[in-house]
Amino acid sequence: MSDEFTKGDHVSWKSHGSEAHGEVTKKITKETEAAGRTVKASKDEPQYEVKSDKSGNSAVHKPGALHED
């Protein structure tokens, strides 16, 4: 299991007691606004914006929360 993902990778994550699936849309490496909130990311601690297959909504997750499908 890797903590490095690239745009287009298909991943899964835990969401409200079940498992969600989606695609990585962006690697975030600086503090920015994404998915409706402020994301405190850095080059040393990146986060990933993902788009849910089911809802089409975007979310941001730390790499440890994502699992490559």
Enter the tokens of residue 28.
Answer: 């975030």
Interatomic CA distance for residues 7 and 60, integer angstroms: 13
Q: pTM to 2 decimals?
A: 0.91
Smallest Cα–Cα separation from 58: which of 22, 28, 27?
A: 22
Amino acid at the residue 31: E
Give φ, ψ of 8 to 5 degrees: 100, -15
Q: What is the pLDDT of residues 1-54, one digit of tens each?
A: 457 999 999 999 998 899 999 999 999 999 999 999 999 999 999 999 999 999
Residue 62 has pLDDT above 90, yes or no: yes
